[in-house]
Structure 1
Amino acid sequence: MRNLITDVPGLRVGNATDLGLASGVTVVVFDEAAVASVDVRGGGPGTRETDLLEPHETVGAIHAVVLSGGSAFGLDAASGVMAALAERGVGFEVGTARVPIVPGAVLFDLLNGGDKDWGRFPPYRDLGHAAVEAAGLDFPLGTVGAGTGATTVNLKGGLGSASMIAASGHRVGALVAVNACGSVNLGEGPHFWAAPFEQAGEFGGLGLPHPLPALPARPPLKGLSSGANTTIAVVATDAVLTKAQCKRLAVMAHDGYAHAIWPVHTPLDGDTIFATATARKPLADPVFDLALIGDAIVRTLARASARAVHEATALPQPGTLPAWRDVWGE
């Protein structure tokens, strides 16, 4: 187990990073078309092809999911991913045509000090294509891909991932770009909200502080406009699921955000989660096993969200937020 979403068989992850731009793209590419759905809880989302993921819509499976920086400009990344997949003959068959089905979500990183003077066309289409070319089973975390320009209210955000085996025996994994309006750590200290779920010291092994600090009267929030934040994620399992069951997992998965980020799902965020299934292992019980998988996904996404900040490094631009490691070391 790599403690990455790629521990779920049937998918790979690729990143494309531009530190000068202070932004990037992350893509999950499926070996075979995967069943998927989505749940959006933030007040200012930026998404692509999410309507077709509803259980009552016709298209039954997808070929990739894109997480991107760049706000609405980053939606172009999916076009680059589509182009790379089309070059490989991958897509939904419509007669003699093949159309790659590539939903995605974006986060806002336009004010982080990077050079966004890209001229007529933003670079995200090319970054999306490059991310597919880089897709593999091993990939870095932190200030890479969609997490390159991500921030939280007080620390550098980033790309995180984690995995585990659910009590049902199914593998689950999470991949998240944390660009939260709120905070992943308690107050001014190094401890993470997700500490009760940590495995093997994956984000410092600090546990929770004792005694627990009192919550401030005013929650920590970035002073930015609606949609200027957003935490976006893909969760995956090797279970054989329907779109409706994936929808339920996407709904449950948001509890992973709630265990790791405070506050979350605000009018300032565009929090979105895609839930995917690679259909390697049937459910023994369609209700109870699904609940166990959902529980594992909540735990895994909380851990991945903390890892995103723990693994991040500060951007090279002057005046940017410090990384967790800059403040508290290893």
Structure 2
Amino acid sequence: MNMKRSGICAWGVAIAALAAVLPLSPVQAQSAEQDALKPTLNDGYDTPDALRFDWPAFTIGTGQYEDGPTGLTVFRFNRKVLAAVDVRGGGPGTVNTEYLGIGYPFPELDSVVFSGGSWYGLEAVTAVNTALKDEGYRGGNWDNVGLTVGSIIYDFGGRRLNEIYPDKRLAQAALKAAVPGVFPRGAYGAGRSAVSGSIFGCNAHSGQGGAFRQVGDLKIAAFTVVNALGVVTDRDGRTAACYPDKTWPAGFRTRDILAGTPDSGKPGWTGVDPSSEKKNTTISLIVVNQKMEPWELKRLAIQVHTSMARGIQPFQTEFDGDVLYAVSTAEYEPADDKRIGLLDIGTITSEVMWDAILSAVPPQPQAAFEAPPHRATDAAALRKVAGRYRFSALAELELKVEDGRLLGQAVGERRVFGIPKEAAVEIIPTETGDYVVPGRYPTVLRFDARGGLTINPGRWQQHGRKRGDR
């Protein structure tokens, strides 16, 4: 026997055994968590709210990691198209927009990708482009190189208890799943964990929106992921979604909130929530079938992007990364006397985009400022749910019983929604069987018999497990 080789093998076995029992670092835990994720593809395509339209020139696919939740949206054109871009926000995250900005008069664009995951999500854009080559659709010849552009939104922070991001695997799966004529609206795809109105502490759930209009043979589609610092506003000036402070006046409108910046002078008005996160973005795409020149597409992008300030107030701030792509499929080449002019196309498309913005708003879970009716709960039942619950390498929650009350405190790197790190707060049992933390934003806890804890059950739920339970 080769003793030297045997010794090396023995050391290898020992090191492997030691690694098996040592706890994973937060970075290792995040990597392992990411690799084990199960993709959800084309979620919401069969819902009544999904946009349906007849336009086979491009396909749409979405991918989501529900454990985030986070996701992405892929638009693939069936031939190279002409495109322009308008970048306005103070913090954009993009791929290949500089090239589009040159304005070459050649159709070169293959696909557009919107993704969550902040700048980490840009991996999804290049992943779609390499997939076009890997499947043989594009290659290495100078006139057949694939071109994919894309942008990201910030969907980390307090809105979820992990840092899962859309990756290469998810992007390429969504590309393969893409189909024509369907676009899910609300908390799907890249808008899976979008929020809006953070500038005023509204922190409303948001999503992706879409709208379509046909005028004669002219087709126009608008798509947007609304993760805006500003508030979504309808055509009557009403705030479409917001978790207001309890001191705000009843029936407030967007203009009231804007007038209250920084101090409206109204009794009891609290104005801006200083704890709101300031990383936001609205990323958008408009598609027209009429053939257009590069300068026309650029002007269309600018006009429509500017018009979006009606539906999102304020818009294009220093803390937003707003980007709009404009695409012409050039399928429709009308005679001069039947051609709809750029001004009219811009006006129509601006209205279509406002429809898209409003359609991005999903139903909002209710919050409870005041404690709901209590459920009589004995100390034994409270002790049964007490313990430490782990949601990710970044978030853990400690629950304990004191003086017949259930108290909760975040003990990981970050707070757990309405449960802070600085001090314990009471977790109140309700008549529904759930527990709540009263406050401006929803914090609902639901325990199961297997040691699991779900916070805010429903579309944006977060799952944790009690330490020591399997």
TM above 0.5, one fold? yes
Flag the structure with more relative contact order, 1 or 2, with Cα contacts below 8 A and sequence separation at least 6: 1
Mapping of residues 16-31 of structure 1, within 5 Å = 16-31=63-78
Which deviates more from structure 2 when the two are superposed, residues 34-43 or residues 214-223? Answer: 214-223
In structure 2, relative to structure 1, the CA distance for the partners of 1:19 and 1:221 (3 Å cut) is farther
Q: CA deviation at 1:129?
A: 0.7
1:231-270 correspondence to structure 2 within 5 Å:
231-270=282-321
Shift of 1:243: 2.1
Seen in structure 2, the aligned counterparts of structure 1 residues 173 and 311 have a Cα distance that, compared at 3 Å, is: farther
Deviation of residue 213 (structure 1)?
6.3
For the structure 1 residues 144 and 78, does the alpha-carbon distance in structure 2 shift closer, same or farther, using more than 3 Å as the test?
A: same
How is 1:60-209 mapped onto 2 (pairs within 5 angstroms)? 60-91=107-138, 94-95=141-142, 98-111=144-157, 112-116=159-163, 123-136=166-179, 137-153=181-197, 154=202, 155-166=204-215, 169-185=217-233, 192=240
Q: How far 1:54 sits from its partner (Å)? A: 2.2
- Alignment partner of 2:232: what SS? coil
Question: Measured at CA, do residues 101 and 312 of structure 1 come closer, stay the same or move farther in structure 2, by a change above 3 Å?
Answer: farther
* Aligned-residue offset at 1:126: 1.5
Task: Give TM-score, length-normalised by structure 2.
Answer: 0.56
Q: In the TM superposition, what is the alpha-carbon distance from 1:78 to its structure 2 partner? A: 1.0
CA separation of 1:212 and 1:67: change in aligned 2, threshold 3 A:
closer
Which moves more between the two structures, 132-141 or 53-62?
53-62
Cα pair distance change 1:253/1:211, threshold 3 Å: closer
Structure 1 residues 263, 63: CA separation in 2 closer, same or farther (over 3 Å shift)? same
Distance across 1 between alignment mates of 2:53 and 2:114: 16
C-alpha distance in 2 between matches for 1:249 and 1:88: 33
Please identify, of 28-37 and 76-85, the stretch whose mean Cα deviation from structure 2 is larger.
76-85
Distance between the aligned counterparts of 1:249 and 1:173, measured in 2? 13
Taking the aligned partners of 1:306 and 1:144, their CA distance within structure 2 comes to 15
- When residues 73 and 212 of structure 1 are mapped into structure 2, their CA distance, relative to the original with a 3 A threshold, is closer
Note the C-alpha offset of 1:185.
3.7
Kept after mapping to 1: 8 A contact 2:105/2:293? no
TM-aligned CA distance change 1:171 to 1:82, over 3 Å: same
Gaps in structure 1 of 5+ consecutive residues: 194-208
Matched letter for residue 147 of structure 2: I
CA drift of 1:271 comes to: 0.6
C-alpha displacement at 1:22, in angstroms? 2.0
Q: SS at the partner of 2:72?
A: strand
For the aligned residue pairs, the C-alpha RMSD in angstroms reads 3.3
Secondary structure in structure 1 of the residue aligned to 2:121: helix
Indicate the residue corresponding to 2:100 in structure 1: 53
**2: distance between equivalents of 1:108 and 1:41?**
16
Residues 211 and 78 of structure 1, relative CA distance in 2, 3 Å threshold: closer
Distance, in Å, in 1 between the alignment partners of 2:99 and 2:224 is: 22
**2-structure distance, mates of 1:191, 1:265:** 18
Higher mean displacement: 297-306 or 57-66: 57-66
Distance 1:300 1:46 in 2: 25
Asked whether the equivalents of residues 77 and 128 of structure 1 are also in contact (C-alpha less than 8 Å), the reply is yes
Larger strand share, 1 or 2? 2
AA aligned to 1:128 is: A
2:325 pairs with 1:274: yes
Instruction: Check the 8 A contact 1:8/1:172 in 2, yes or no.
Output: no
Counterpart amino acid of residue 361 in structure 2 = V
Aligned counterpart, 1:297: 349
- Over residues 240-266 of structure 1, what are the superposed CA-to-partner deviations in whole Å (9 max), with x where a residue is unaligned? 112222111111111342121111010
CA gap 1:19/1:174 in 2 versus in 1, 3 angstroms = same
Inter-CA distance 46–294: structure 2 relative to 1 (3 Å threshold): same
Tell me how many residue pairs correspond in the alignment: 297
Deviation readout 1:36-65 (Å, 9 max, x if unpaired):
110011111111100111244476420000
Aligned 8 A contact 2:71 2:166 in 1:
no
Q: 1:59 to 1:268 in 2, by over 3 A?
A: same
Instruction: State the identity as a percent.
Output: 30
Indicate the residue corresponding to 1:202 in structure 2: none
Contact between 2:183 and 2:210, CA under 8 Å: does it hold in 1?
no
Which letter does structure 1 place at the counterpart of 2:283?
A: I
Instruction: Please name the residue that 2:417 is paired with.
Output: 319
Larger radius of gyration: 2
Query: How far has the Cα of 1:114 moved from its partner?
Result: 4.3
Aligned-partner residue type, residue 106 of structure 1: I
So what's the TM-score if we normalise by structure 1?
0.79
1:77/1:124 contact within 8 Å kept: yes
Aligned residue for 1:259, secondary structure, equals: coil
Q: Post-superposition shift, 1:278?
A: 0.8
The match for 1:42 among 85, 89, 102 is 89
C-alpha distance 213-242 of structure 1, shift in aligned 2 (>3 A): closer
